[in-house]
Amino acid sequence: MNLTMTTLYETDYLAWTQQQADLLRSGRLAALDIEHLAEEIESMGRSELHQLESRLSVLLMHLLKWKYQPARRSRSWVDTISHQRRRIRKLLNKVPSLQPKLSEIFDDAYEDARVDAGNETGLGKMGFPECCPWTVEDVLADRLLDE
C-alpha cells in the first residue's frame, strides 16, 4: 500500500474517495488502496443495516407509546409512525438484501424502543412488555393505529 494513499485516507477522506474513484474509472486497479477500500465497502453495508435498525427502533417506540398511552396520543406520533414505515419500506426496496435481516435485528430494535419509550414516558422499560406484542409484518403494516 502506498504511504501517500494511507496518509491521504487519514488526513483528507473526501480527497481519498475522489482519488479512488478516479483510479477505478481509469482501470488503474493496482494503484488502489485495497485495504481501506474494502473497509469502506463493508462499512457502507453496516451503515445500511444500522439505519434499518434505528428506524425500526423509532417506529417501535412510537407504537409502544401509542398503544400504552392512549390518552397522550398526538398527531406527531402518527406522523413519526407513518414516516418511519415509509422510510423502512424505501430502504428495503433500495437494499433488498436487508429484508432477511429484519427478523435478526427485530428483538434488539424492540429492546432499544422499550428503553427509549420508558425513558420518554417516565414509565421505565418495565412499563412495556418484555417481548414485542407485534410481528415484523404487523409493525410495517398500516393497521396498528386502529387497535
User: What are the residue ranges spanned by the domains of the chain?
Assistant: 48-146
Ramachandran quadrant class, 124 (left: phi over 0; alpha: psi -120 to 50; beta: rest)? left
Residue whose C-alpha is closest to residue 51's, from 93, 20, 88, 100: 88
Q: What percent of the chain has pLDDT over 70?
A: 93
pTM of the entire structure? 0.81
| pLDDT of 142 | 84
The model's pLDDT over 32-50, given as tens digits with 9 standing for 90+, comes to 999 999 999 999 889 999 9
Low-confidence residues of the chain, pLDDT below 70? 1-6, 144-147
What digits encode the pLDDT tens for the residues 17-30? 999 999 999 999 99
> Cell numbers of 131, please?
417481548
Q: What is the pLDDT of residue 141?
A: 92
